[in-house]
Structure formats: C-alpha cells, structure tokens
Amino acid sequence: MIEKIINRNIGKSQKCRVKYGNNSEFDLLIVNINDGERVRKFSIEAKHLSSEKDSIYFYPETKNDVVTIRWNHEIENYINEVQ
C-alpha cells in the first residue's frame, strides 16, 4: 500500500487546503495537522478522493481552547482521525 503523507499547520485561515495531487499515485492519504498543542493524524483512502480535483479542505474551529477539525462535505464520511 502506497501512502502519501502531508503535514499542515493550522494558521489564521478559516479554510485550510491539503493538496494531494493525483490520487491514482497512492492508496492512502495521511494528513498530519499541527494545531499548536498536538499533531492530529487523519487518513482517507485515495478511492474516496476526486480525480477531477487535486485538493481537499478542512476548517479548524477553536472554542474554549479546543480545536475541532471539520472536513469538506465530499469526504467527511470517509476521513478518519487515527490518533
């Protein structure tokens, strides 16, 4: 199984892009998101990513110093937090 790993830091943006490129070049996309306190790891199988696009987006929300990651609707049912 070929994995593609992308590391992202949460910035001040309300919409964060994860550019994966061509989804036929890997089987599993791993996204490591550093929220300043910890690194959270998410994974999604490439078959659930659009071959017509090269990116997915997440939306970080902070409430009471707790960071929540929300994914765009096309993938939210397929992406899972691993750790």
What predicted TM-score, i.e. pTM, was given to this entire model?
0.92
Domain that holds residue 30: 1-80
pLDDT at 25: 97
- Count of domains for the chain: 1
Q: How far is CA 43 from CA 47, 64, 68, 82, in A?
A: 12, 26, 16, 7
Count of Cβ atoms closer than 10 Å to residue 59 Cβ: 13
State residue 52 phi and psi, 5-degree precision: -90, -10
pLDDT at 66: 85
pLDDT in 10s for each residue of the chain, 83 residues: 999 999 999 877 789 999 999 999 999 999 999 988 899 999 999 999 999 999 999 999 988 888 899 999 999 999 999 96
pLDDT at 35: 87
